Amino acid sequence: MEEVKRVKLHGVGANPYSKRVELALRIKGIPYEYIEEDMSNKSQLLLTYNPVYKRIPVLVHNEKPVVESLVILEYIDENWRNTPQLLPDDPLERAKVRFWANFIQQELFEAMTLAVRYDGEVQAKAIDEVDEKMKVLEEGMKEMFPESGSASIQGEKLGLLDVLICSIFNSYKAYEEVLGVKILDPERFPLVFCWVEALKELPLVKELFPPHDQLVALLMVVRENVLKASSST
Amino acid sequence: MAEEVVLLDFWPSPFGMRVRIALAEKGIKYEYKEEDLKNKSALLLQMNPVHKKIPVLIHNGKPVCESLIQVQYIDEVWHHKSPLLPSDPYQRAIARFWADFVDKKIYDLGRKVWTTKGEEQEAAKKEFIESLKLLEGELGDKPYFGGENLGYVDVVLVPFYSWFYAYEKCGNFSIEAECPKLIAWAKRCMQKESVSKSLPDREKVYGFVLQLKKAFGIE
């Protein structure tokens, strides 16, 4: 019981940043207490823990907060060393993983977020960008994993890139349904597609992520607000 | 085995400066190659095909891209000398948080200060100073962000000090007036050879900014 209380995660339901931290904690077998935050009514605790950005996720370990999801993921990996490592030991391999983690987060996911949150031209441009970044990712992953021809989990070992890809693409079908656009075409992006599908089948992943319909409903709400805002201007 | 280290860089780049400082702190000999960004070398395009940007660190023929990743790489490979990141995981997380903050705020806001005018510029100046004040808060009474010695956050932030003069001239404000502790910290860092030899002269940077403004048609 003590163990669980020592690690707390402040997050929001299906938020992918929140989910990636939960996934990492579960991969590493770290018990934690999950606290759902209401972003429309932020708790005093959240504002104290994250005064700079005032947002989730926030990991609190022994009363000390860590914020920004990639910073949290590296912290989890470095602090709990007797558990499956998310990052490789070799410095050059680590640099490659960090490079692609940045790419997936800052280039690809940012574009996907824009596509959901905006309309008209901004959205169209964002969707094009997602496609461009997907091509780069597919090529990059082919280079990183030349032997297997697939980035899929070697054995049962999940790493940092698996966590990110899973948190972003697990719900790709929901994004496709809501945006009316194909994002993860198996013919154009076979490696990433197989990777995502393999991750989706893992029991660990299935129990963590909300079902398709729930996510579609959530994304629809976001889109509704977007359309309301643009039509009222 | 002889270590071969090459840095593809561009003299005014604050990102490149971070790597120069890290290499100097560790006493690593390397070959510096100046890139012409209007005419990028085949080597640069080969070593960083995704972003085609400097700096690129090439260690024994293998590229490492992106300045924060490069500084961490240098710290991990040459870990026996002048450690930049602390050893405690929580302290490392704090350092990484602030390095990420610098990347999210300082470059973009600084850029807005010299590329915009009027209301947009005033808003950028305000947020820029607010961000620097947050960093001052993190520094506190320590001589460096890293404590008694230069650390990761120092290396990540101090390159922008060479651009402060240009920001001030373009934005018509004084950073020292608003953030005296931070300027004192920057001057302290400049007393270290690894920093002073890695940062260009501020007048040279200002001249470069004026050239860019002319080229982009910004008044």
- Of B50, B73, B92, Cβ closest to residue A91: B73
pLDDT for res A229: 73
Mean pLDDT to the nearest integer, B120-138: 98
Tokens of A17: 């940043």
C-beta atoms of A95 and B90 within 8 A:
no
pLDDT for res A5: 65
- With a cut of 80, say whether residue A154 has pLDDT above it: no
Work out the mean pLDDT of chain B and round it to a whole number: 97
C-beta atoms of B66 and A99 within 8 A:
yes
- With a cut of 70, say whether residue A3 has pLDDT above it: no
| Alpha-carbon gap, residue A109 to A175, rounded angstroms | 12
Q: Which residue has the tokens 């009363």?
A: A63
Closest residue of chain B to A134, computed from CA coordinates: B50
Mean pLDDT to the nearest integer, B121-150: 98
Tokens of B35: 């890139």
Task: Write out the H or E segment, with its range, that includes residue A58.
Answer: strand A58-61
pLDDT for res A148: 55
- Please report how the helices B89-115 and B161-171 are oriented relative to each other, as an axis angle in degrees rounded to 10: 30
Q: What are the DSSP E strand ranges found in chain B?
A: 5-9, 31-34, 56-59, 62-65
Which of B197, B186, B210 has the alpha carbon at shortest distance from B24?
Answer: B197
> For residue A52, which residues of chain B lie inside 8 Å, CB to CB?
101, 134
> For residue B101, which residues of chain A lie inside 8 Å, CB to CB?
52
| Alpha-carbon gap, residue B163 to B13, rounded angstroms | 10
| Alpha-carbon gap, residue A76 to A8, rounded angstroms | 12
User: Does the predicted model carry a pTM greater than 0.90?
Assistant: yes
Tokens of A28: 């590493």
- With a cut of 70, say whether residue A152 has pLDDT above it: no
For residues B178 and B133, is the Cβ–Cβ distance under 8 A? yes
C-beta atoms of A98 and B72 within 8 A:
yes
For residues B163 and B14, is the Cβ–Cβ distance under 8 A? yes
- Of B50, B90, B92, Cβ closest to residue A103: B50
Q: What CA–CA distances, in Å, run from A161 to A144, B92, B182? A: 11, 21, 37
C-beta atoms of B97 and A71 within 8 A:
yes
> For residue A102, which residues of chain B lie inside 8 Å, CB to CB?
66, 69
- Of A66, A72, A91, Cβ closest to residue B76: A91
> For residue B92, which residues of chain A lie inside 8 Å, CB to CB?
74-75, 78
| Alpha-carbon gap, residue B37 to A32, rounded angstroms | 48
Work out the mean pLDDT of chain A and round it to a whole number: 89
- With a cut of 90, say whether residue A232 has pLDDT above it: no
> For residue B61, which residues of chain A lie inside 8 Å, CB to CB?
none
pLDDT for res A149: 47
C-beta atoms of A67 and B77 within 8 A:
no
Tokens of B202: 């501020």
Q: Which residue has the tokens 């899929």?
A: A152
pLDDT for res B136: 98
For residues B52 and B44, is the Cβ–Cβ distance under 8 A? yes
B35 to chain A nearest CA, in Å? 22
For residues A207 and A166, is the Cβ–Cβ distance under 8 A? no
pLDDT for res A116: 85
pLDDT for res A15: 87
A157 to chain B nearest CA, in Å? 22
SS3 content of chain A, % helix, strand, coil (to 5): 60, 10, 30
pLDDT for res A145: 77
* Range from A130-144, A211-225, B31-45, B108-122 carrying the lowest mean pLDDT: A211-225
C-beta atoms of B62 and A92 within 8 A:
yes
- Of A66, A98, A136, Cβ closest to residue B50: A136
How many CA atoms are closer than 13 Å to the CA of A216, on its beta-carbon side?
10
Question: pLDDT tens digit string along B168-212?
Answer: 999 999 999 999 999 999 999 999 999 999 999 999 999 999 999
Which of B15, B9, B51, B11 has the alpha carbon at shortest distance from B30?
Answer: B9
- pLDDT over 90 percentage in chain B: 97
For residues B12 and B3, is the Cβ–Cβ distance under 8 A? no
Mean pLDDT to the nearest integer, A60-75: 97
Question: pLDDT tens digit string along A164-210?
Answer: 999 999 989 998 998 888 889 999 999 999 999 999 999 999 999 88
| Alpha-carbon gap, residue B121 to B192, rounded angstroms | 33
| Alpha-carbon gap, residue A43 to A49, rounded angstroms | 10
Sheet holding A58-61, edge to edge: A33-36, A7-11, A58-61, A64-67
Residue A212: pLDDT band by 50, 70, 90 thresholds?
A: confident
| Alpha-carbon gap, residue B114 to B170, rounded angstroms | 5
Residue A2: pLDDT band by 50, 70, 90 thresholds?
A: low
For residues B167 and B128, is the Cβ–Cβ distance under 8 A? yes
Residue B66: which residues within 8 A CB-CB, separation 6 or more?
A98, A99, A102, B51
**ipTM, two decimals:** 0.96
Question: pLDDT tens digit string along A10-49?
Answer: 999 878 899 999 999 999 999 999 999 998 899 999 999 9
